[in-house]
Structure 1
C-alpha cells in the first residue's frame, strides 16, 4: 500500500531552495537527490518555481536497518512563493510517510538560524566580516539543510574519500542504479505523486553487504573504501541509533562527530561532511579536505594555507565556522582568483 501526504512549510523569510538543497545533490545525475533550479533568482525574492526530489529510507523503530527492515519514502519539494514550500511524500507505509513529512522542514533548513552570525559579522566589522555580511545580504534565503538519514549520508561521503569528484559521483551513481530499489517501478499503479523513473533508493545495510567484492571494483570504488563501507554496514544499527534524533546544539553535534570518527575508516573529514548533510552542522568545517584549506586561506588572506591555518582563520567565527565556509563559496571568489582578496584580522584578543 502506498501512503501519501502533503504539507506546506513556511520558512518565515525569503528562501532559496536551489542554493540550500543543492549541497545535497552529488553531481548532475544523482539518483537520490535532484534539484530543479527554476529561474534560480534567489536573493530577497526567494526562488519560486524551484523544486527538488529526495529519496530516503526510514528505519523501523524496533530493528533499525540491521536486518534490512526500513521504510522507503520519496519527498518532492516545490517552492510556491518567497517563503513557502510545498512538501509532498509518497512512501510504502503510513509510518514512513509520517516520518518523512515530519522531516521535511528540517531538510529545508527550517531549524537553521543565521541571526547570531549576522550580528557577529556586524560586530566584528573588519574587512572580511563586512564582505561576508554583504554576501549574506545577497543570499538571505540560504539555509543549511538537515536531511537526516545518517547512515545513507555516511555511505555517500565514504565514497568521496581520497578520490576525485568524478570517481565519487560515478561510484554513488552506479551503486544506486545497479543495486538500489526503483520506487517508480514498484509504485506505478498506486502513487499519485509522479515519482521519476531515474530515482533510486539508497541501499540498506543488508543490500550493501550483498554487493560482491568484484562489483565494488567495477563501480570504481577502491578496496579501502569498500572495506570501510562494509564496516559501516556491520554497525548499521548503532549508526541508526545515533541518527535517531537530530541535535541542533553545537556541542552535541560535535560530540556526534567524535563518535562517528571512531568507526574504523571514517575519520574527522568524513564525520564532518556527513553531519553537514544529515544534521546541518553549522560549526564543523571539513578539516582534511584536499582543497578547502587552500580555498579558505586564499579567499580570506590572498595566500593559501593548511588545515591548521584554516582553523585559525575561522576561529573568530565559532560556532558558525561552516556557515562562514558556505558564505565564502557563495561569494563567487573561486571565479575571481586574480581579483581583490579579503583580508583577515585577528579577533581572538577582543
Structure 2
C-alpha cells in the first residue's frame, strides 16, 4: 500500500539505515546534468540499503529518495557545495552532479556505493544474522570521505530522542545552509552550513532548534578545528576515532557513528547507546537487559565486522517488545 497507509518505520529500521527506493524507470536516467558518470559495479547495488544510513530522518533537507528510483544528496565537499543524483538501471549506476563540488562527488561515487567495502570477509554465525544477511545481498557499507557532515548530526543526536535530533538538524540546515546547486530534487535540497557559519549561529537560534548548550558547545568546538577533523579521513578508523575524541564532548558513541559513515568502518561498534545493547543481546542470546560489555562479548565472533553484524541485527527486526514508556521528548525551544 502507498501514501498515508504506508507503515511508519520503527526505530530499529531507522537505525539499521534502510530507505525504500523504488526501482528506477528507464526515463529516470534522462536528466540533463553538467557532470555525468556511468559505472557498472560487480554486485547488485541497493541504494536504499547503502545510502539509507546517511539520511537523518524522513525530512532530512540534505537527502531525498524520489519515486522515480533516484536518490539525491547535497554535500559540502572540499571543493565546495555539490548535488549528487544517483540511480541504478539495468545493473548500471548513473551519477549526475551539479555545483563546484560536483566533480569531487562523482570521483567518490564508487566508494559512496560500497566499492571500498569487503562483505566477503563477513561470516554470519547466528541464525538471525544469517537470515538478515541472506535477505539483503545488496548491503554494503558506504564511505562518504566527509567527517563533519556526519559529526554534526551525530552530536545533535546525543542524549535526546531521534525526533528531537532530526528536527534540530532540519531547522538549522534550512535556516543557515544554502539551497543545493542544480534542480536538487525539485528545489527541496539544502547544503549544510560551512564551519564558519556554524560558528556564527546565535545562541537563541540553537535554543529555538531545541539544542541545549552542551551539544551546541560541542559543535562549536568541532567546527573550530574542522580542517584537522576532516584530515581524519586519511587515517584508519581507530586513529580517526581517537582524533575525534580529543574534542571535548565527542565520545566513543559519537566517533563510532561518524566513522561508520565517513570511513565505512565495518568494525566500529556503537557503544554507550540506550537501545543497541538490548537489541543485540535479545537477538543473539535472548537477553534484553544486556549492557555494552555483554554486547561486545556477543559480537566477539564477528571481530573485524562487528558494525556490519550489528546493523544486520537492526535490519532483522528481531527486537524485544517495549515494556516501558518511550523516552520523554523535550523541547527547550518552547521554554
Question: How would you bin the TM-score normalised by the shorter chain?
Answer: 0.7 to 0.9
**TM-score (ref. length: structure 2):** 0.82
1:331 aligns with 2:302: no
User: What is the Cα-based RMSD across aligned positions, in Å?
Assistant: 1.8
1:86 aligns with 2:64: no
Superposed CA deviations along residues 48-87 of structure 1, whole A, max 9, x for unmatched, are: x632111111225xxxxxxxxxx11000011113x32211
Q: Distance in 1 between matches of 2:78 and 2:116?
A: 22
Superposed CA deviations along residues 26-45 of structure 1, whole A, max 9, x for unmatched, are: 11100001223x5xxxxxxx
Instruction: Please list, as runs of the form range in 1=range in 2, the aligned pairs for 1:300-339 lying within 5 A after superposition.
Output: 300-304=284-288, 305-334=290-319, 337=321
Structure 1 residues 216 and 132: alpha-carbon distance in aligned structure 2, compared to 1, 3 A threshold: same
Partner of 1:219: 209
Instruction: Please list, as runs of the form range in 1=range in 2, the aligned pairs for 1:1-350 lying within 5 A after superposition.
Output: 4-36=34-66, 50-60=69-79, 71-81=80-90, 83-92=91-100, 96-117=101-122, 120-121=123-124, 128=126, 130-183=127-180, 191=182, 193=183, 195-243=185-233, 245=234, 252-304=236-288, 305-334=290-319, 337=321
Deviation for aligned residue 1:134: 2.8
Confirm or deny: 8 A CA contact 2:61 2:189 kept in the other structure: yes
Confirm or deny: 8 A CA contact 1:25 1:35 kept in the other structure: no
In structure 2, runs of 5+ residues without a counterpart are: 1-32, 323-335
> How many corresponding residue pairs?
289
Structure 1 residues 16 and 235: alpha-carbon distance in aligned structure 2, compared to 1, 3 A threshold: same
Q: Distance in 2 between matches of 1:194 and 1:303?
A: 45
Superposed CA deviations along residues 76-118 of structure 1, whole A, max 9, x for unmatched, are: 011113x3221111013xxx3221111111111121121111x
Q: Distance in 1 between matches of 2:174 and 2:191?
A: 9
Deviation for aligned residue 1:197: 1.4
Helix, strand or coil for the counterpart of 1:78? strand
Confirm or deny: 8 A CA contact 2:156 2:211 kept in the other structure: yes
In structure 1, runs of 5+ residues without a counterpart are: 39-48, 61-70, 339-350
Q: Distance in 2 between matches of 1:226 and 1:30?
A: 19
Deviation for aligned residue 1:142: 1.0
Confirm or deny: 8 A CA contact 2:128 2:283 kept in the other structure: no
Deviation for aligned residue 1:290: 0.9
Superposed CA deviations along residues 194-232 of structure 1, whole A, max 9, x for unmatched, are: 543121101111100110011100011011000001000
Structure 1 residues 87 and 171: alpha-carbon distance in aligned structure 2, compared to 1, 3 A threshold: same
Deviation for aligned residue 1:16: 1.3
Deviation for aligned residue 1:255: 1.7
Structure 1 residues 298 and 131: alpha-carbon distance in aligned structure 2, compared to 1, 3 A threshold: closer
Q: Which runs of 4+ in 1 moved over 4 A?
A: none
Superposed CA deviations along residues 279-303 of structure 1, whole A, max 9, x for unmatched, are: 1110011000111011100111111
Q: Distance in 1 between matches of 2:39 and 2:106?
A: 10
Q: Distance in 1 between matches of 2:205 and 2:217?
A: 13
Q: Distance in 1 between matches of 2:266 and 2:34?
A: 32
Moved more, 10-19 or 270-279: 10-19
Helix, strand or coil for the counterpart of 1:333? coil
**TM-score (ref. length: structure 1):** 0.78
Helix, strand or coil for the counterpart of 1:112? coil
